[in-house]
Structure 1
């Protein structure tokens, strides 16, 4: 199913964009699958370069409050990473247009689309490298907590977390998405735990397997950085173990790589912070469903609601 936020493009549209940006002929172009927000195409230029073109949602598409300006945010993320952690493989921004971006094409395949022959040992090695890479990104400190621009942010992490959750609750109300009670009080109730995140670290926040590229047992790319924000580093430990609790999997390869690089100790306060991070992600995923054409009340909604309710229950 195609999301309403994804534009329907064709070869001639991609050709026109790239010709305007680089004054070079386009040899080939094909849409890439896997994402659910923007339209993403791979293109071959006549000068031999292979590039990726990402185009933001069409005018009038329904978006969540934090999703304003995500294409420009992605360009900012890649530039920050390349400047501050040059060993982490992210694309180079070649051109930023009006809600569209062109980047270099990185080698490898996503962990969701690995070819036959890439076994569990290879995947584990890549995930461990990813953990170490994300630890490196977390050493980059931002100017504030939360999102950039006029999106939810705060002077500290409790304030930013509260603003982010409040915006998502407003989004859910706009789309008539039912949520369990008590979510809006979490930032106040768990202020002390949230406040232990004292430095706004650079966060990717979308580290599911589709955004991690690999070749064999080697990490070759980290893509889709448009949802980046500054905040609690533990937020980036949620999506690598999507729908699970990574703190209950001490041998998870991502956690192993991250812990080796940071010395992270998952004490009781860290576990509270991780639970709050999962609440953030689950509320976001529930709120975004209708904007992606996913009806309320389906299997996805029910599963996420169950996971969210379990986190809220345990946080009590």
Structure 2
């Protein structure tokens, strides 16, 4: 009697994950050697925490630890400003490093093109843990010192002046010769994204679109295109603990959302849920380098505008990124409340 061939069972979830990991590691090694030449990778680990680009920690035989970041493939649904983000990150880190800020070193940036369906970026790894992960272990006095150091760091970054205003990628079309022009383009782009992704807005679209015109005289008070990270929240700040000694700020990472504009916008990005301008330690650190910084009526108007913009970005991006569950529900509620609060603040400031 002839033997009957038994077909192999289809790969299960664990097998599929293992295969995907092997492919990701092989591609990472290939890209690393493309950038650095013949190197030996002893370990590769996927890094969590990113919500847009993917990242891998690569440990080399010579002791170096590098991070390879890869953007989604060209054509993946995204907001208008989410084009060439890794190119922006490379530019931010290079400029911030020249200003004396602790940031990763850029080793290689590869834009998308023939044979490269997604851009990628190779950086040095910043040792330590993120501030949000260490939060419960930081004493109040240490936190105050760290906030002062962060304020000083952001003030250094803001000394960098761009050639124009807005996002530093001309092809995106969200830049211009002055801040009112650039910010109008940025805000209108996310409103158009809301229509494209069928996201309900928490206020009439025409009211939101008119904000840069209504407060254009306040936006025009910005006369220099300063470098702004705009995402310097605690998840993008790396700390190092020195044994039983104090924590220190090891680095600022993920500069992919950077633009050139009002340096006050940094206060919105680093504290999306609160009001960083009311933090005396942070402001003391910032004013140690920029003693002339004042939070007057014009500044508060602009801060409210930037908070509306950021809340809209966070609300709309939830759809192309396919957030679900509690995160999606929280974002929907929080962003609506945040926009409503800031519109009320603008009305009060105008009056």
Same fold (TM over 0.5): yes
In structure 1, stretches of 5+ residues that fail to align are: 1-6
RMSD of aligned residue pairs (Cα, Å) = 1.9
1:261-301 deviation per Cα after TM superposition (whole angstroms, max 9, x unaligned): 21211111111111111111111111111111125972221
Pair 1:215 & 2:240 matched: yes
Q: CA–CA distance in 2 between the matches of 1:290 and 1:309?
A: 21
Contact 1:204/1:227 (CA < 8 Å) preserved in 2?
yes
Q: CA–CA distance in 2 between the matches of 1:245 and 1:116?
A: 21
Name which of structure 1's ranges 58-67 and 203-212 shifts more when overlaid on structure 2: 58-67
Name which of structure 1's ranges 58-67 and 182-191 shifts more when overlaid on structure 2: 58-67
Aligned position for 2:125: 105
| Relative contact order, higher structure (CA 8 A, sep 6+) | 1
Return closer, same or farther for 1:201/1:239 CA change in 2, 3 Å cut-off.
same
Q: 1:71 aligns with which of 68, 76, 86?
A: 86
**What is the 5 A alignment of 1:225-264?**
225-247=255-277, 249-251=278-280, 253-263=281-291, 264=293
Aligned position for 1:137: 157
Pair 1:94 & 2:119 matched: no
Aligned position for 1:3: none
**What is the 5 A alignment of 1:284-303?**
284-294=313-323, 298-303=329-334
Q: CA–CA distance in 2 between the matches of 1:279 and 1:112?
A: 24
Q: CA–CA distance in 2 between the matches of 1:291 and 1:254?
A: 34
Q: CA–CA distance in 2 between the matches of 1:147 and 1:156?
A: 12
Q: CA–CA distance in 1 between the matches of 2:269 and 2:180?
A: 21
Q: Which has the larger radius of gyration?
A: 2
Q: CA–CA distance in 1 between the matches of 2:337 and 2:236?
A: 25
Alignment TM-score, normalising by the size of structure 2 = 0.83
Q: Secondary structure at the match of 1:255?
A: helix
Q: Secondary structure at the match of 1:30?
A: strand
Pair 1:51 & 2:66 matched: yes
Contact 1:237/1:255 (CA < 8 Å) preserved in 2?
no
Alignment TM-score, normalising by the size of structure 1 = 0.91
Aligned position for 2:14: none
Contact 1:235/1:274 (CA < 8 Å) preserved in 2?
yes
In structure 2, stretches of 5+ residues that fail to align are: 1-19, 112-118, 242-246
Q: CA–CA distance in 2 between the matches of 1:65 and 1:93?
A: 25
Contact 1:146/1:231 (CA < 8 Å) preserved in 2?
yes
Q: Secondary structure at the match of 1:291?
A: coil
- Please report how far the alpha carbon of residue 116 of structure 1 lies from its aligned counterpart in structure 2 after TM superposition: 6.6
Pair 1:315 & 2:346 matched: yes
Contact 1:27/1:45 (CA < 8 Å) preserved in 2?
yes
1:93-137 deviation per Cα after TM superposition (whole angstroms, max 9, x unaligned): 112224111111112211012287433332332221111111111
Aligned position for 2:147: 127
Q: Secondary structure at the match of 2:55?
A: strand
Pair 1:158 & 2:167 matched: no
Q: How many residues align?
A: 306
Aligned position for 1:190: 215
Q: CA–CA distance in 1 between the matches of 2:138 and 2:343?
A: 38
